[in-house]
Chains A and B, each alone.
Chain A
């Protein structure tokens, strides 16, 4: 008999019912909820007189549409539209008795940062949220993915999801990352290689020495962008790094339950003889610090490259590339390091954790943003912010000329007032460079926190490795 993949094992452990055609009912261990994709789901429950089946497994936090400026705990300081959504979540959390972290709570933050931080996310779990970046939680060896609002309502009412099983894809990163190359460069490079639809129909397991060497923060960055590669979920087998991170978190098991959980978690890996439908292998030493040049996360190039021309591509991508270059205001053949920027955004569920802020601060220490460049740091949670302040990172950012904001999704999706102006060009640690994503007409280049910090200092896209060689 063939062995099982990690995904197979978690799937089997959550199967409630399976029809002959493979349509399955999967049990959901954790349901994360935020203010933007849930109001219609709660409204649906009310209209049908249904309740939340497992309120203790449901965790809500406002993040997408909250202001990141001081004084927001006073709801009068929010725009009317933010206020309506945040108040609706307040009300729904109260009415249905679910776990809740309001904006006034220091534990509030981006849902995908709060879940792991509070120990809600544990190995072997199924985790869903009405947000595509739910893939982040896969870093713990959990099966985690985004769902639509109808499915949010379905999970609220039944604690299950109707699913068909995806195929298994293995992405192995062999060897060790060179200096200046980070988890973000890994995940962007994978998408650059496989394309934004390369993972469609698959769950990706990331493995290999370079993945094993990453911290939990780095692993979350890698899994976070599995969705940008088209995959339903990204997953990394849990190990000592995972267990060390989880232990002692508020909602992690304790005592005898910890021991029982640990014993099961240690069985969560892909068997040597497991079947893979697709395998991609990348050597870590071949990965350079990368940036995106276009309006799709697959538009990835090493910072040492030049802006491509539409004719470098094939099929529908020729026209897409031409459209991207026009939108981004770029000429083919331009060295990427010649691209001047106007703004730097450090934050998001991809790179808003403490390690990301430490890495960016390391580059910014004793340096300043270039003239005319504005910068914004938005910690991923209130606790990340407090930790950063304890370490003095806030002072480094502020002295470098950055704004030091409160936790939220902020500019990554630009729902709140944190947006780019038309034509404004931003070095961003977020996950999407789509047209209009960070503000209508705004131009986004995705990169790692150290690369974004370096670009902020020089005022143009920059190879951080050169800056690392300099002493300040």
Chain B
């Protein structure tokens, strides 16, 4: 997995609540058997019209935000379907950090598996970042995972929480499966015990 340490980049404002994973990547793009190449279809139905032309009003189509690496959004981001195609599309577009008042559980987990940092913050702080993001391409913010702090374009600092284990995995770019396989003896032990206690499983 790609490491996430410190990111300085353009933040795109998307002030909608309940952005679901169907919006992030509609179902017609789930037909792929690969993880790559979904960035062009990120937010497809908002980003393009029926003929496939860009909708100039959509934030990621505006010149200032085409290179965005951070997304600031509304409450309950990533709700709905468990499709990991959603974080794959976000990452493929070039966004490595999503900041919102809250995230849906499965999407939140999926981000960490793909080198994306999701940051839940109180609404007031998201509002500050949203305003900063609305300034456009000249306003770049910094997300520092090691020190758990976001710095706005004005130099205002906002601290954030992150689960220590997930932080460690992101900073080091660790593969979960490798970590768990190192615990194979515990899994073996559990299975032997279960074969006795719950043999019907």
List residues of chain A with CB under 8 Å of any chain B CB: 16-17, 19, 21, 23, 25, 27, 29, 36-37, 39-40, 43, 48, 50, 53, 57, 64-65, 81-82, 84-85, 88, 122, 124-125, 130-132, 145-151, 153-154, 157-160, 162, 164, 196-197, 200-201, 227-228, 230-232, 253, 257-258, 260-261, 264, 296, 315-317, 319-320, 323, 413-415, 422, 432, 434-437, 440
| Cross-chain pairs A/B with CB under 8 angstroms, 5 sampled | A85-B31, A148-B109, A158-B180, A200-B104, A415-B27
Chain B positions 99 through 118: 1 when the CB is less than 8 Å from some CB of chain A, otherwise 0: 00011111001100110000
Q: Does B50 contact A (CB under 8 A)?
A: yes
B183 to chain A, nearest CB (A): 6
In the complex, chain B residues 183-201 whose Cβ is within 8 Å of any chain A Cβ: 183-184, 186-187, 190-191, 194, 198-201
Given contacts A160-B187, A230-B105, A434-B22, contact A65 B165 (CB under 8 A): no
Q: What's the nearest-Cβ distance from chain A to residue B16, in Å?
A: 7
Q: Is B40 an interface residue (CB 8 A)?
A: no
For A296, what are the chain B residues with a Cβ–Cβ distance below 8 Å? 18, 20
User: B82–A37 contact, CB under 8 A?
Assistant: yes
Asked if A17 and B109 make an inter-chain contact with CB atoms under 8 angstroms apart, the answer reads no
Report whether B106 and A146 are in contact in the complex, using a CB–CB cutoff of 8 Å: yes
CA distance A450 to B187 in the complex (A): 47
Residue of A nearest to B123 (CB): A315
Leading 4 A-B pairs by shortest Cβ distance? A150-B113, A253-B200, A39-B33, A316-B17
Contact between A37 and B50, CB atoms less than 8 A apart:
no
Taking a contact as CB atoms under 8 Å apart, the answer to whether A162 and B105 are in contact is no
Q: Is the CB of A415 within 8 A of B30?
A: yes
Q: Find B18's partner among A81, A85, A132, A196 (CB 8 Å cutoff).
A: A196
A32 to B133, CA, bound (A): 41
Taking a contact as CB atoms under 8 Å apart, the answer to whether A88 and B33 are in contact is yes
- In the complex the two chains form, what is the Cα distance from A62 to B177 in whole Å? 25
Beyond the given A145-B106, A260-B200, could you list 17 further A-B residue pairs with CB under 8 A, ordered by the A residue number?
Answer: A25-B183, A36-B30, A36-B31, A37-B82, A84-B33, A85-B33, A147-B82, A148-B87, A151-B113, A154-B180, A162-B165, A197-B79, A231-B105, A316-B75, A319-B15, A415-B30, A437-B27
Which A residue sits closest to B22, measured CB to CB? Answer: A434
- Determine whether B62 belongs to the interface, using a CB cutoff of 8 Å to chain A: no
User: Is there a chain A Cβ closer than 8 Å to B74's Cβ?
Assistant: yes
A-B pairs under 8 A by CB, number: 186
A150 engages B84 (CB within 8 Å) = yes
**Could you tell me which B residues sit within 8 Å of A by CB distance?**
15-18, 20, 22-23, 26-28, 30-31, 33-35, 45, 50, 74-76, 79-84, 87, 102-106, 109-110, 113-114, 123, 163-165, 176-177, 180-181, 183-184, 186-187, 190-191, 194, 198-201
CA distance A230 to B165 in the complex (A): 23
Cross-chain contact B180 with A25 (CB below 8 angstroms): yes
Task: Report Cα–Cα, A360/B150, bound state, in Å.
Answer: 54
- Cβ B200 vs Cβ A436 within 8 A: no
Q: Do the beta carbons of B200 and A257 come within 8 Å of each other?
A: yes
Query: Contact at B31–A84, with CB atoms within 8 Å?
Result: yes
B residues within 8 A CB of A43?
A: 33-34
Report B-chain residues with C-beta under 8 Å of the C-beta of A145.
Answer: 106
Contact of B186 among A25, A154, A323 (CB under 8 A): A25
A162 and B176 contact, Cβ closer than 8 Å, known pairs A40-B35, A150-B110: yes
In the assembly, what is the distance between CA of A92 and CA of B111, in Å? 26
CB distance from B29 to the nearest CB of A (A): 10
Q: Are B194 and A164 in contact (CB under 8 A)?
A: no
Q: Is the CB of A150 within 8 A of B28?
A: no
For residue A37, which residues in chain B have a CB less than 8 angstroms away from its CB? 30, 82-84
Q: How far apart are the CA atoms of A228 and B16 in the complex, in Å?
A: 18
**In chain A, what residue has the closest Cβ to B108?**
A200
Complexed CA–CA distance, A202 and B114 (Å): 24
In the complex the two chains form, is A440's CB within 8 Å of B45's CB? yes
